[in-house]
Chains A and B, each alone.
Chain A
Amino acid sequence: MFNNFFHKMASPKYFYRISGRLIPWLAIAFVLVTLAGLYYGLVKAPPDYQQGDSYRIMFIHVPAAWMSMFVYVVMATAGAIGLIWRIKLAEVVAISSASIGAWFTFLALVTGSIWGKPMWGTWWVWDARLTSELILLFLYLGVIALYNAIDDKRTAARAVAILALVGVINIPIIHYSVEWWNTLHQGPTVTKLDKPSIHLSMLIPLLLMAVSFKLYYAFVVLMRARCEVLERERHTGWVRELAETK
Chain B
Amino acid sequence: MTSDSLTRAFALLLKRDLVLAVRHRAEMINPLLFFVLVTSLFPLGIGADPKLLQAVGPGVIWVAALLAALLSLEGIFRSDFEDGTLEQFLLSSHPVSVLVLAKVLAHWLITGLPLLVISPLLGVLLGLPGDAIIILLVTLALGTPVLSLIGAVGVALTVGLRKGGMILSLLVLPLYVPLLIFAASAVDTAAAGLPVTAHLSLISALLVLALSLSPLATAAALRISLS
Most chain B C-beta atoms within 10 Å of own C-beta, residue among A135, A138, A159? A159
With A150-B161, A169-B213, A177-B181 already in contact, the answer to whether A142 and B224 are too (CB < 8 A) is no
Chain B interface helix/strand/loop/mixed: helix
| Complex alpha-carbon distance, A176 and B174, angstroms | 14
Q: State the Cβ distance, B206 to closest chain A Cβ, in Å.
A: 7
Would you call A178 and B224 a contact (CB within 8 A)?
no
Judge if B138 is at the interface, Cβ distance under 8 Å: no
Q: Give Cα A146 to B158, complex, Å.
A: 8
A205: Cβ under 8 A from any B Cβ: no
Interface residues on chain B, number (Cβ under 8 Å): 28
CB-based contact A138/B170 at 8 Å: yes
Residue numbers in B under 8 Å from A139 (CB-CB) = 174
CB–CB B157/A159 < 8 A: yes
Interface residues of B (CB under 8 A from A): 150, 153, 157-158, 160-161, 163-164, 167, 170-171, 173-175, 177-178, 181-182, 185, 206, 209, 213, 217, 220-221, 224-225, 227
Task: Provide the bound-state CA to CA distance between A167 and B217, in Å.
Answer: 11
Number of interface residues of A (CB under 8 A): 28
Q: Which of A142, A167, A170 has the most C-beta atoms of chain B within 10 angstroms of its own C-beta? A: A142
A149 on the B face (CB < 8 A): yes
Beta-carbon contacts of A158-193 to B below 8 Å, as 1s and 0s?
A: 110011011101100110111011001000000000
Given A150-B161, A166-B153, A173-B206, A180 and B181 contact (CB-CB distance below 8 Å): yes
Q: State in angstroms the CA–CA spacing of A146 and B170 once bound together.
A: 9
Q: Which residues of B contact A138 (CB under 8 A)?
A: 170, 173-174
Separation of A169 and B227 alpha carbons in the complex (Å): 25
State the CA gap A168–B203 with chains docked (Å).
Answer: 19
**Which B-chain residue is minimally distant from A151 (CB atoms)?**
B161
Which residues does A use to contact B, with CB under 8 Å?
83, 135, 138-139, 141-142, 145-146, 149-150, 155, 158-159, 162-163, 165-167, 169-170, 173-174, 176-178, 180-181, 184
- A173 smallest CB distance to B (angstroms): 5
Closest A residue to B205 by beta carbon equals A173
Given A138-B170, A180-B181, A181-B181: A166 touches B175 (CB 8 Å cut-off)? yes
Given contacts A141-B170, A146-B171, A176-B178, 7 further A-B contacts (CB under 8 A): A83-B220, A139-B174, A149-B164, A163-B157, A169-B213, A178-B177, A178-B181
Give the one of B153, B163, B170, B173 with max A CB within 10 A. Answer: B170
A74–B173 CA distance with the chains assembled, in angstroms? 23
Shortest CB–CB separation between residue B7 and chain A, in angstroms?
Answer: 28
